[in-house]
Amino acid sequence: MKIEKSLEYYTKGLKHLVGAVNSPVRAFKSVGGIPIFIKKAKGSKIYDVDDNEYIDLVLSYGPMILGHRNKKVENAVKKALKKGTTFGASTKGEIDLAEIVCKAFPGMDKVRFVNSGTEAVLSAIRLARAFTGNNKIIKFAGCYHGHSDALLVAAGSGLATLSIPGSKGVPDEAVKNTLIADFNNIESVKKQITKHKDIAAVIIEPIAGNMGVIQPSSAFIKELRTLTKEHNILLIVDEVMTGFRSKFGGAQELLGIEADITCLGKVVGGGFPVGAYGAKNEIMEMVSPLGDMYQAGTLSGNPIAMACGIATLKELKKKDPYKKFEKTAEEIETILLDAAKIYKVDLQVNRFGSMINPFFTKEKVIDFKTAQTSDTSKFKTFFWKMIENGVFLPPSQFESWFLSTKLNEEDLTKIKKAVEKGMKAVSNSSRK
């Protein structure tokens, strides 16, 4: 496998980019080596600057659910581009995408589009504080909600990968109103609610995707919803990763709960920078210009991004790929577990819909603590063997793999062969 051009670009990028990247996970620090630079993509494949071909299980960390360069989505973007790129004024596309999104989420009357998941979440928290008059929020260890100051504590994948417990530059005052509870542990939530009377919201990923894929137990998630209602605390469900990935709508509906505020991103933009937060009228009418909670954005509702999002969601609704995703994820789980058994590698596999994640551990992974029992050195060996055999994975033990509608039987056969070689390499490295 050649990586000469990636090395050349990495070396050149170090001069004017921080670590030659614009997002830390791309630096490959947890797996060693240099970042792979990508040149193009099509369907289920992605190609690097050295012309290596990979089956893409990263999918830009989720948005490319239809695969790369879907024809209808691409045509919609080209058509929108001919009219201009941004106007700083309202367009019909914003209304059309808002209607699709609100219809897909029973607990949403109105939505506000922003430019990223981080922006959606920080706005949702501001809204919860404005609506309740309280300041404190509860988040769960290992759940990542973007890089805003108040949430960069016990924040999952990026920080876990780099072994950073928080972030320098975040003052104590910024996190003094952030309380931490343990995922799948309702008693830890009750403890915080008993101790603090001024809690505005609890925020949660309905399916944790930044400490690996971890589902909440049915009892935990339903009791969390009951508990927040009893104490007049808003429940913010961060569906930036899960929105439209497991059904046409949100994971919260599959889990039998309804959020007070829902945050979205990734699939909603179809590959363009889009985030969103939405709720019932009573809450959303607190947002400016209807209310006094101020939030704005020059490129929010960008016409190109709206066109891409609309086309993506229309194609998803038409294809309805969710049962097939479940079947494919089950097949990949079997591939992983069978290979691990053959080569005597300790492995757990968690999945939900079109998200899947292996952990190199004996322990059942149910929260951040058990996720961290995974042997990251084994993942590093596995990662590079998968790369060498044409499967592109997230360069972090704690990031979900994602499936697209373009993944086919030929791809699955290649994934199976790569996994077998990867597990063999892990087994051999363990004996050294």
Q: Transcribe 33-98 into DSSP letters.
A: S-PPPEEEEEBTEEEETT--EEEESSGGGTT-TT-BT-HHHHHHHHHHHTT-S--SS--HHHHHHH
pLDDT of residue 159: 43
Give the sheet arrangement for strand 355-359, strand by strand: 348-352, 355-359, 401-402
| 54 flagged as catalytic | no
- pLDDT value of position 203: 97
Residue 166 pLDDT exceeds 60: no
Lowest pLDDT segment from 25-34, 246-255, 263-272, 287-296: 25-34
**Which listed residue (238, 260, 367, 411) is catalytic?**
238
Beta pairing, strands 38-42 & 45-48:
antiparallel
- Return the pLDDT at 232: 97
Examine the residue annotation and report whether 238 is marked as an active-site residue of this protein: yes
Tell me the pLDDT tens digit for each residue of 235-266: 999 999 999 999 999 999 999 999 999 999 99
Of the candidates 139, 266, 380, 406, the residue annotated as catalytic is 266
Q: Which amino acid is at 250?
A: G
Q: Which of 54, 144, 260, 375 is catalytic?
A: 144
Neighbours of 178 (CB within 10 A): 18
Express each pLDDT in 66-115 by its tens digit. Answer: 999 999 999 999 999 999 999 999 999 999 999 999 999 999 999 999 99
Provide the pLDDT for residue 358. 97
User: 45-69: per-residue pLDDT in tens?
Assistant: 999 999 999 999 999 999 999 999 9
- Distance, CA of 107 to CA of 238 (rounded, Å): 14
The average confidence (pLDDT) of the chain is: 94
- What is the reported pLDDT for 167? 63
Check if 61 is active-site.
no
**Tokens 């079109």 label which residue?**
354
Res 226: pLDDT = 98
Tens of pLDDT, residues 333-381:
999 999 999 999 999 999 999 999 999 999 999 999 999 999 999 999 9
pLDDT class of 160 with cuts at 50, 70, 90: very low
So what's the pLDDT on residue 157? Answer: 47
Average pLDDT over residues 259-274: 97
Can you give the pLDDT at residue 161?
Answer: 37
Segment 382-391 shows an average pLDDT of 98
pLDDT digit string (tens) for 192-210? 999 999 999 999 999 998 8
Any idea which residue has 């919860």 for tokens? 128
Q: Give the range among 40-44, 122-126, 143-147 with minimum mean pLDDT.
A: 143-147
Domains of the chain (ranges; CATH) run: 4-65+321-431 (3.90.1150.10), 71-319 (3.40.640.10)
User: Is the pLDDT assigned to residue 326 strictly greater than 80?
Assistant: yes
